[in-house]
Structure 1
């Protein structure tokens, strides 16, 4: 039997059809944000694991603008490529395109960076082969990715400074369930993409409950992964509305997980995320947001926190990861 050594490739592209089961609710205009995040994580993982030749874990996903819905039945392309490597980290740029198969013209739906960490047999970070950009475009995208590092640090520090107690009148919803065997990857932990779906579902729930309308995610400011989630863990996803503006609703989500056999006052934090949603009518047209008025000191502080995160994005203005072509990309195969 012949064998062939496959040289690590810095990019992976997945192509598939968006299915009816990818839509969260009947009558929705397109695939929900959590499913798109799952697709991104899946392709980025394939890219990271292929480069590192070992198991990898998601460390961070962020700065995602969902610019348009992806309808069920569209051909979807998720393109992931490594743009920068640290000692054990891989910074991967991901682009999601879709096309009506009757037309075959792909347009961008969203793009974002994902950071993976390569893990050794001892379950500790292990070094990866350095990625060396060669072309002018590879060097441009590397600098674009590096321009986001300081923003990411500032956002994470700002998020960690906040406290969340019961001293609140803000709308919030908590989902509780057990992590199933079908939720995990071959490393024995829950897929990062699956966890991001859980987060989006809870945040969608609280925004729909508050607004009385269909809601869609339009921006993800940062998803920070702190620890793995295992089969059988009790998972608790809490989504709290912290601020409303003219149309937008800012939501903070905490995903906690732990062994249900071990009594504990609070489950360990696994993921912390910041999302922005808007309400839409049946035709997908944005609606003015129902206004939430902060009452308690904590609610007022968290409202300012959401505004601070927005100002940080305006302050750093990271370079674009993707240069949009003047002409849409035509399907060729």
Structure 2
């Protein structure tokens, strides 16, 4: 009887997961929030960022991940419908289970193919095991000078993020207010969830932007656009069938901007909306714009109650914190546009 020839048992080296992901697609007419708007609304841009960062986090950790924090986003220009959009996400720093991911959003008229940056930000994801507990992940080790610079920039924001979160958690919100506010309520649908069965972080941020946009439009009597978003903290997941309540309250105005605090609460509707726990807390700033997209002077809000006055000081404090810590820029300034390639 012939003997079997043994098969090779050479072990192939495990390939290092990629620390970056790039998504490219066309901005569609359905990405614009209202007729006549100059470009895609901020909530949809945040959704794109969350999806790209999620793909980057999952590729690195090889597991399901959840959004923990999104911070310090300046929307520098609108993205018109029909533009080619490029969302770049890359790992900057890893903890035991967390991934700090730098994201850039660029766009170009496809007839010209010249990309310019629209915004950038830092997103933190946490890897989860099968029991939905934080899971240890591979450590990311930067090698090039640029990778080290990006890591240091991400680390420079740690203390700022903690200070902002502590300041936001110290505040309370009651009915003792005359501030402009708006609340939306609805049920989370199956089409809102990700592969883990929870609502997409990007979808939730889109809900937040829509409520805050409606609040600022109601106050100003004009179209409004988000120019800044920060301190977006995710406390708990939102599930299919949850009653979702998004409350947007204006807390400060200056010459042009309107500062808005948003709380997203969610839970089982059978338990009543009075006890809905906070799932997400966020801070946004908006400007009114004319038909050509030019910023207008903000209608002034004057705080009346003690709570309104305290929250106005809270908005001022958040601005001071961002000036005090002076975090390093996450991305280098673009010297010029760059040409579309295949």
Say yes or no: does 1:116 pair with 2:129: no
Aligned residue in 2 for 1:166: 175
Measure how far apart 1:17 and its partner are. Answer: 0.2
Aligned residue in 1 for 2:160: 151
Q: Would the alpha carbon gap of residues 284 and 95 (structure 1) be closer, same or farther in structure 2, given more than 3 Å must change?
A: same
CA contact (8 A) 2:100 2:154 kept: yes
Aligned residue in 2 for 1:202: 211
Say yes or no: does 1:18 pair with 2:36: no
Aligned residue in 2 for 1:36: 45
Residue among 290, 293, 316 paired with 1:284: 293
Say yes or no: does 1:255 pair with 2:270: no
Residue among 330, 335, 339 paired with 1:326: 335
Distance 1:269 1:84 in 2: 28
Asked which structure has the greater CA Rg, the reply is: 2
Unmatched segments (≥5 aa) in structure 2: 1-12
Tell me the number of residue pairs that the alignment of Structure 1 and Structure 2 aligns: 330
Measure how far apart 1:7 and its partner are. Answer: 4.0
Aligned residue in 2 for 1:185: 194
Q: Would the alpha carbon gap of residues 264 and 38 (structure 1) be closer, same or farther in structure 2, given more than 3 Å must change?
A: closer
Measure how far apart 1:114 and its partner are. Answer: 0.1
Q: Which runs of 4+ in 1 moved over 2 A?
A: 4-7, 263-266
Q: Deviations over 1:230-286 (max 9, x none)?
A: 000000000000100000000000000000112363200100000000000000110
Aligned residue in 2 for 1:301: 310
Aligned residue in 2 for 1:135: 144
Distance 1:15 1:226 in 2: 30
Distance 1:290 1:159 in 2: 25
Say yes or no: does 1:89 pair with 2:98: yes
Aligned residue in 2 for 1:47: 56
CA contact (8 A) 2:243 2:273 kept: no
- Secondary structure at 2:209 match in 1: helix
Measure how far apart 1:327 and its partner are. Answer: 2.2
Q: Would the alpha carbon gap of residues 6 and 181 (structure 1) be closer, same or farther in structure 2, given more than 3 Å must change?
A: farther
Say yes or no: does 1:60 pair with 2:73: no
Unmatched segments (≥5 aa) in structure 1: none
- Secondary structure at 1:35 match in 2: helix
Q: State the TM-score, normalizing by the size of structure 2.
A: 0.95
Say yes or no: does 1:70 pair with 2:47: no
Distance 2:288 2:74 in 1: 16
Q: State the TM-score, normalizing by the size of structure 1.
A: 0.98
The aligned runs of 1:212-223 (5 Å cut-off) are 212-223=221-232
Measure how far apart 1:6 and its partner are. Answer: 6.0
Q: Deviations over 1:57-94 (max 9, x none)?
A: 00000100000000000000000000100000000000
Distance 2:292 2:336 in 1: 27
